[in-house]
A and B are shown apart, each in its own frame.
Chain A
């Protein structure tokens, strides 16, 4: 039933009719292993500095948002300018359920997933009817409209101060232990997201998503069911972003739409994707660390950092055409480097 073979540095597992294979040459797993070990050891090394731990967790939260966003860019062939809508959705759902019905984090998670599914399904026809620029603009407006909505019903959404007193994710007694374990949880979630989406993009679905990104109509003519693929990609990635919103709400204990819905958040998410290297999953990690630590470093300058920070980001955007990931590794000629065609439909 299950047969395992080992030939030429590859492990091949045959299970009934399907075949799974992994390459185990050291040069493929050496660098990722070093990186993962470093990331796993990091929270232990900085366990005495709670603000550094929070920074690290924030970086992981941004990765949780940007990795599905990168997948969605390739999978739908459109640039989504409003991924933070689902962050707000997940966060508010978790927060409201927690303070009104006393749900704990494990009980709010299924509801967050359901609500994200519902809204993503509601918006998914946009990927079919709206192309290129129209899609980008409509998604640009969605989070801002949501923010207005929360201001209108500020009785429920608590306006600008947001919801506070949300049940914490875990409570193990000491604050230090809490922070360290929460950091590990976010690291674990990030690694799961990364692994999942990397596998998807390297598989046969990945090449179909690339085809959709490159030339939707030609792919349609060749038997690829583009509508189903686009809609499933949009819904799946939006649900993943919603889960990131859930994590934010339970980690910080408060959730205010004004922090996570306006343009400033969009800029950070977009820049992390761009600076990390345009739809490169691992580049998102480099970009997230860079943006989060830069913002914190600049915060000590005072109010001036609000406009110095985007200026520095702009300089890096111009200076690094392949993003930060390009410094580590120039992309090979035959690897798929998606061109985002925003204007042409």
Chain B
């Protein structure tokens, strides 16, 4: 489904992503892990078109999306959530999701009222229907994350990229968030690329895990293989995680 070949991204003299290749098949949940500064968010930004790759190719379902604008990439079927939620602060939650609905490819002439109706379905799915008229800047962190997810889902993506959704959530909220993402995956038939720091989650839910370190891919495989890989252990030096 998603095919990344030899992508490199430099910022001045700093090579943030160095010759990374990966592929994601349909229906998979792929985890992307690595220490801070490994280039995970940069790689995602390159996939989504925020940064232009210096070299390499990004292909999605056979379409070359390497240097396209972010909104074109969204229409092709890739959606993402942000590490720090970026809602539209002065608009209500339902308006936030309505913007995502109106950005879809298949909505040639949808009226605003219909977009709002569609948006409320997504809000109900993530459990925010009661907060539909609350301004996005007044929502709590968990609610803002849920709003991010609703917005990403409203574009009806085929590939969903989740960028560190658990940061800042307490254990109860994390559990709710994981259940929500799993439900979304089942109901919307999503393929998920999940960037995360919390090892437990990745080890439990991912089919395949990739490890980035200083911009290079150092390991790839199933969660069990990764947990035994010496290079990965070295990179994380001292990081303890539990299987199951």
Chain A residues within CB distance 8 Å of chain B: 17-19, 21, 202-204, 206-208, 210-211, 213-215, 217-227, 333-334, 336-339
Contacts and interface: CB of A to CB of B under 8 A. Distances in A.
B109 interface: yes
A221 B50 contact: yes
A211 B86 CA distance: 11
Contact of A207 (B69, B74, B95): B95
A219 B99 contact: yes
A234 to B, nearest CB: 18
A226 B72 CA distance: 11
A213 B110 CA distance: 22
Interface residues of B, number: 37
Interface in B61-92: 69-71, 74-75, 79-80, 82, 86-92
Given A19-B111, A221-B48, A221-B50, A207 B102 contact: yes
Contact of B71 (A21, A203, A221, A337): A221
Contacts of B90: 210, 213-214, 336-339
A334 B95 CA distance: 10
B135 interface: yes
Contacts of A339: 89-90
B162 to A, nearest CB: 14
B115 interface: yes
A227 B37 CA distance: 31
A223 B98 contact: no
B92 A224 contact: no
B109 A214 contact: no
Nearest to B113: A21
A284 B134 CA distance: 27
Contact of A225 (B71, B110, B133): B71
Contacts of A221: 48, 50, 70-71, 74, 80
B133 A334 contact: yes
Contacts of A225: 69, 71
B236 interface: no
B27 interface: no
B151 interface: yes
B91 A336 contact: yes
15 contacts: A19-B111, A21-B111, A207-B95, A211-B88, A211-B99, A217-B86, A221-B74, A222-B74, A222-B155, A223-B100, A223-B103, A333-B133, A336-B91, A336-B95, A339-B89
A213 B88 CA distance: 9
A62 B212 CA distance: 59
A210 B88 contact: yes
Contacts of B115: 204, 207
Contacts of A337: 90
Contacts of B91: 207, 210-211, 214, 336
Contacts of A336: 90-91, 95
Contacts of A227: 69
Interface string B166-199: 0000000000000000000000000000000000
B95 A220 contact: no
A223 B74 contact: yes
B23 interface: no
Contacts of A204: 98, 102, 110-112, 115
A220 B105 CA distance: 14
Given A222-B100, A336-B91, 4 more contacts: A21-B111, A207-B91, A223-B104, A339-B89
> Which interface residue of B71, B74, B104, B111 has the most chain A CB atoms within 10 A?
B71
A224 B103 contact: yes
Contacts of B104: 223
Nearest to A20: B111
B96 to A, nearest CB: 8
Contacts of B113: 21
A204 to B, nearest CB: 4
> Which interface residue of A211, A222, A336 has the most chain B CB atoms within 10 A?
A222
A206 B134 CA distance: 19
A278 B69 CA distance: 32
B69 A220 contact: yes
A222 B95 CA distance: 13
Contacts of A210: 88, 90-91, 95
A193 B86 CA distance: 34
Interface in B105-138: 105, 109-115, 133-135
Given A204-B112, A204-B115, A215 B86 contact: yes
A338 B174 CA distance: 33
